[in-house]
Amino acid sequence: QVQLVESGGGLVQAGGSLRLSCSASGTIFDMYIRGWFRQAPGKEREFIAAISWPGVKTWYADSVKGRFTIAKDNRDRTVYLQMNTLKPEDTAIYYCAEVRAITLAPRTWPEYDYWGQGTQVTVSP
């Protein structure tokens, strides 16, 4: 089992920045992908970004490419999501997720095995 915990959400004005963190504990797989999703009220949970272990392959949704950056710390398995130039439409609950034993990041949420509890990001106009 893998336990994921997100942090770093909050309220920010449009154009501002936030950095989300996703810490992990429990089983360590040799190969896995950690990703970020978000879900706004009344909308589907959507893929944002993902990063591979081992290596540093990254994937981004078109809606955040150039504004968001995913990174990891190999020492403690923490994954970060740096979010810049935030827009009101980025408002959502942001979730961290992990899927084991693959090398290509899935972009649909049912394919992920483990999930955090989510952290709220609110961007005011």
CA distance 75 to 113: 22
Q: Report which of 89, 102, 95, 90 is spatially closest to residue 117, judged by C-alpha positions.
A: 95
Instruction: Calculate the CA 85 to chain-centre distance.
Output: 17
Beta 46-53 vs 58-60: how paired, if at all?
antiparallel
Q: pLDDT (tens digit, 0 to 9) for every residue of the chain, 125 residues total?
A: 999 999 999 999 999 999 999 999 998 888 899 999 999 999 999 999 999 998 889 999 999 999 999 999 989 999 999 999 999 999 999 999 999 988 899 999 999 999 999 999 999 99
